[in-house]
Structure 1
Amino acid sequence: MSERRHAAFTSDGVVLLHGISRTARSFRRMELALGDAGFATLNLDYDSRRKPLDALAEDIHSSLDPFARSLDGSVHFVCHSMGGLLARVYLARYRPARLGRVVMLGTPNGGSEIADRLKNLAAYRALFGPAGQQLVTRRDAATSALLPAIDYQAGIIAGNRSVYPITSIGLPRPHDGRVSVANTRLDGMADHIVIRTSHPWLVRNAEAIAQTIAFLKGGNFTKS
């Protein structure tokens, strides 16, 4: 499922990709802010817990491709957590002709230490499915091949607060409770910023939303 909104002020559009075990509803506040800023939006739902990243890229293509083609301007991506990895897989396979900028919020570009710890547990496998196995810090050759070096403008927003006092024990500090700040970084990124919030709230945090819009419009974050 997907939800599409049109804007009257710009010819650019934004594709929003939620994180694992989340839905498009988690991006609703961001979506409304992007619409107010003049962007058309496509807020996609996808079966994050049922398929690996390459299959998910195929699933979203049928909605994403016509949206990108319908725009007079560029198509940007705004992604939370695993949604950023999905965007990287998708762009390596189906890069739009007028690709704009990509913002990743709490994306485990270097993998998640939490996934390393829990990957062999039956409950984790049942909850997060095949894609959950691809979130580890030591990726196999097949997963690494899905995530080649980037050659587009990517801005990364990391959090440094946790609402998971138990499960985040052992995560290298600073972290957002799910991903260490260090592992959000990506070779070739255009900009990186750390804000005072936790992993699940990155999509709703007012500063994260403002910084996302600033990067989409100007190619950099606003530093105080």
Structure 2
Amino acid sequence: MSQRVILVHGIWMPGPVMAWLGARLREAGFDCTTFSYHGVTRGPQEAVARLGDLLARDSAHILAHSLGGLVAMQALHDHPALAVERVVCLGSPLHGSRAVHGMRQRPWAAALLGQAAPLLERGFEQWSGRAQVGSIAGSVPHGLGHVFGDFADAHDGSVAVAETRLPGLADHAVIRASHSGMLFSTEAARLAIRFFRAGHFAGDADATP
């Protein structure tokens, strides 16, 4: 029986943006479903509640990009009994976003974040839930986030590598990709498949799920 993976997109993006990654996971034998939400206008709280309802139907893994990773982890925090074994976050500012903090200092930029701003800026202090969480960061600095974040270290154009780290993670990896480029990265897909199968990013990704 195929393992189910819920795909969760980031801010400003529609669900279909996860289609390329979904196709790679289906080729590897996973059953993928895309979860769509309106993070800016309706806020993460509604998304968290709806995602919790979806995850309550059956066991699943989660592959989430950017804000989607925070939404997924908040859902698991609020509903610790959910049968989610593993989560892979792509470019998610799990420890909080400096770029979002900078945007919130400018009213015109803050408006672009809408109700998603507090969760993006705050992030989490640590992860202590029962699901294993792996985080993948990008190191190609293509994007406008650095204009607001004033990054002094490696980043993907929107999120610093350091912001993707969090105490309690099962594993962490850095790949050559920009923030949006991760959505079409063969390496990101390969690492996600490894993590869903073994709970870590190193090892054989070709084994049967």
Q: Same fold (TM over 0.5)?
A: yes
- Offset from partner CA, 1:125-156 (integer Å, 9 cap, x none): 322211123322xx3xxx769x8633321111
Alignment-derived partner of residue 21 in structure 1:
12
- Cα distance in 1 for residues equivalent to 2:149 and 2:49: 36
Aligned identity (percent) is 32
Matched, 1:201 2:181: yes
Matched, 1:120 2:111: no
Question: For residue 156 of structure 1, what is the amino acid of its counterpart?
Answer: S
- Cα distance in 2 for residues equivalent to 1:19 and 1:220: 23
Alignment-derived partner of residue 108 in structure 1:
93
Runs ≥4 residues deviating over 4 A: none
TM-score, normalised to structure 2's length? 0.87
Matched, 1:179 2:159: yes
- Cα distance in 1 for residues equivalent to 2:78 and 2:86: 17
- Offset from partner CA, 1:153-177 (integer Å, 9 cap, x none): 1111000111136626721311111
Count, aligned residues: 203
Question: For residue 149 of structure 1, what is the amino acid of its counterpart?
Answer: S
Q: Give 2:50's match in structure 1, choosing from 33, 53, 59.
A: 59
Query: Would you say the 8 A contact 2:98–2:149 is kept in 1?
Result: no
Task: Report the RMSD for the aligned CA atoms in angstroms.
Answer: 2.3
Structure 1's unaligned 5+ residue stretches are: 1-9, 69-73
Q: Tell me, what secondary structure is at the counterpart of 1:134? A: helix
Question: For residue 70 of structure 2, what is the amino acid of its counterpart?
Answer: L
- Offset from partner CA, 1:2-51 (integer Å, 9 cap, x none): xxxxxxxx331001111111111111111111111111111111011113
- Cα distance in 2 for residues equivalent to 1:148 and 1:119: 26
- Cα distance in 2 for residues equivalent to 1:120 and 1:58: 29
Query: Would you say the 8 A contact 2:8–2:15 is kept in 1?
Result: yes
- Cα distance in 2 for residues equivalent to 1:34 and 1:187: 27
Alignment-derived partner of residue 38 in structure 2:
47
Query: Would you say the 8 A contact 2:155–2:161 is kept in 1?
Result: yes
Query: Would you say the 8 A contact 1:17–1:43 is kept in 2?
Result: yes
Q: Tell me, what secondary structure is at the counterpart of 2:158? A: coil
Question: For residue 182 of structure 1, what is the amino acid of its counterpart?
Answer: A
1:85-104 matched pairs, under 5 angstroms: 85-95=70-80, 97-104=82-89
Q: 1:162 to 1:78 in 2, by over 3 A?
A: same
Alignment-derived partner of residue 206 in structure 2:
none
Q: 1:96 to 1:34 in 2, by over 3 A?
A: farther
Structure 2's unaligned 5+ residue stretches are: 204-209
- Offset from partner CA, 1:49-76 (integer Å, 9 cap, x none): 113322221133444433x2xxxxx410
Alignment-derived partner of residue 3 in structure 2:
12
Q: 1:135 to 1:144 in 2, by over 3 A?
A: same
- Offset from partner CA, 1:68-88 (integer Å, 9 cap, x none): 2xxxxx410111011111001
1:119-138 matched pairs, under 5 angstroms: 119-136=104-121
TM-score, normalised to structure 1's length? 0.82
How far has the Cα of 1:217 moved from its partner? Answer: 0.8
